[in-house]
Chains A and B, each alone.
Chain A
Amino acid sequence: MNEKQIQTLIEQLAKFDFVHAKIKIDEFELDLDRDQLAAQSQPEDAQIQTINSPMIGIFHTNEHPIQVGSVITPKTVVGQIESMKLFNDISASMTGKVEAVLCEDGQAVDYAQPLFRVILGAAE
């Protein structure tokens, strides 16, 4: 296969909705991976959102801290913010799976500072 034929083949393949393709024509072998498509379609509606601090204060984790992989629902208490000696529960306000923990126990956080990164809808 010459360069022009390969080019034509790739153009034709682009019309199909695939993530991985393996083509073998005689001696010629072509492996194609389309990561971008894969990432888009992986878990359905995998939107990423953050749970932000509702106020400035000191972040405290739960007795059993929320970790990467923890499944949360809107009412899940993901931690507490201590402000002027008052402890305020932080509700998740979303359903999903925790992808990253962005703050540590005892850390000072600003208003609206991201505390957890969540893959939405991953719980179902």
Chain B
Amino acid sequence: MFKKILIANRGEIACRIIRACQRLNITTVAVYSTADKEALFVKQADETYCIGPAAAKDSYLNRETILMAGIIANVDAIHPGYGFLAEDSLFAQMCAQCDITWLGPSAKLISLMGNKSAARKFAAGRGIAIIPGTFVLNDVTQAKVAANKIGYPLLIKASQGGGGKGIRQADDEKQLLSQLVIAKQEAEFAFDNSAIYLEKVLADIRHIEVQVIGDQAGTIQILGDRDCTLQHRRQKVVEESPASFITEAQRRELTQTVHQLLDHVGYQGLGTVEFLFSQDRFYFLEMNTRLQVEHGVTETTTGLDIVLLQLQLAANEGKLPDCVPMSDGVAIECRLQLTGTAKINQLTSFSFPDSMRVDTGYQQGDYIPPYYDALLAKMIISADTRTAAIAKMSKALAEVEIDGVPNNLSQLEAVVSSNWFLSNEFSVTTLDARKKANESTTN
């Protein structure tokens, strides 16, 4: 087993990884920016190194600086968490060059799946249904011809985007022409790569994803599925495990599709294959080659500690489950987020009922640095049925105490107590449409 692991991340996910390491008696090394000097993950780690100033590009995104900390601390492995350098194939390569184990798939697979257009081509080549659309566009004429064939409305997506970022919608040719220019500029600015492609806007979309893990031999096992349909501006708000509205036949179809995609490609470590479900069909959306924010719901229903399993498999000491773990009940996760900035942004009150599993990087009294993501806590509840889990979540949310920072707690409460959420009849755009129409999110 590894003796010492560096966590190239911050906040709740750094705390989460430290917890798994502690269970395996692995010494943990935290790297932090000056803005995180007092952060919980820094207090929890065995060794800490200040690697740079607050700006992520000079600290959490600075490959050399993180590796230097790894070399000084003499670590065996680096866990990238999610975000920052988690899907940076160059960083994965650099770790290998420094003789440090990268806790994730090969640089080659990270690159393949990170290029969303290339990933679509790869999936299509393996006989998997992809969302109708194009691969990387060469010019405007090609875009116009393709758009007419696919039909409007459609999405212009940055090939190096993903995770709901770098997307623009075009409802007709006029919009397509104007949005193409902006989309290319935005992609160049945000992802250092102006490659874009088109995708049809499907009707009544549900977002379904499959959790996978691969051992060192590249054998993969599916650990369950999640429903992450409830989104606000393409960002997940509430997640569930398993996806309770799909049939067992559809679940078997998903399992088979994921194996079709990943068998014999040498996939190692954790990953999530995302699908859109529309009119009774699954379409490959993208694959994230890392630990995912919402992995906790899968852990809650399967009883697995998937980070622990990832570490064991990477050290060649663990064993893949023989079959897809059975789901015990239904787990729901609500993301407690910062919705703006207060003058001081101090969590003057921050407490949760015992009925919840709470993954957070903060404590009461902490100041929230304005430089990073808006996630304050992931609140997870489980029960035998979806209805019971919703009722339990509703009750638990009422007992959450948070003060001092603007947050979305009341919005989460409204969603969880609404009839449309309870009836499980909504799509990825439901929350946005309700907000736009200025309707209350309830009823």
Contact = CB atoms under 8 A, between A and B. Distances in A.
A56 interface: yes
A113 B72 CA distance: 15
Interface stretch (B49-57, B155-163, B251-259, B406-414): B49-57
Contacts of B69: 56
Contacts of B34: 111-112
Interface string A84-124: 10000000000000000000000010111100000000000
Contacts of A110: 49-51
A44 B72 CA distance: 41
> Contact residue range for chain A?
10 to 19
Most buried by B among A56, A83, A84, A113: A56
Contact of A84 (B50, B51, B52, B68): B68
Contacts of B72: 56-58, 108
Contacts of B71: 84
A55 interface: yes
B64 interface: yes
A111 B67 contact: no
A111 B64 contact: no
A112 B51 CA distance: 9
A74 to B, nearest CB: 21
Contacts of A57: 68, 72
Nearest to B33: A111
A112 B65 CA distance: 13
Contacts of B51: 56, 110-111
A9 B161 CA distance: 79
B64 A84 contact: yes
A56 B34 CA distance: 12
Nearest to B58: A111
Contacts of A58: 72
Nearest to A83: B68
B372 to A, nearest CB: 17
Contact of B53 (A83, A108, A111, A113): A111
Interface string B68-81: 11011000000000
Contacts of A56: 49-52, 65, 68-69, 72
Interface in A20-59: 55-58
B440 to A, nearest CB: 48
Most buried by A among B49, B64, B68: B68
B71 to A, nearest CB: 8
Interface of A: 55-58, 83-84, 108, 110-113
**List of 10 A-B pairs having minimum Cβ-Cβ separation, nearest first:** A110-B50, A108-B72, A84-B64, A83-B68, A111-B50, A111-B52, A56-B51, A56-B68, A111-B51, A56-B69
Given A55-B52, A83-B65, 20 more contacts: A56-B50, A56-B51, A56-B52, A56-B65, A56-B69, A56-B72, A58-B72, A83-B64, A83-B68, A84-B64, A108-B72, A110-B49, A110-B51, A111-B50, A111-B53, A111-B59, A111-B65, A112-B50, A112-B53, A113-B50
25 contacts: A55-B52, A55-B65, A55-B68, A56-B49, A56-B51, A56-B52, A56-B69, A57-B72, A83-B64, A83-B65, A83-B68, A84-B67, A84-B68, A84-B71, A108-B72, A110-B49, A110-B50, A110-B51, A111-B34, A111-B51, A111-B59, A111-B65, A112-B34, A112-B50, A112-B53
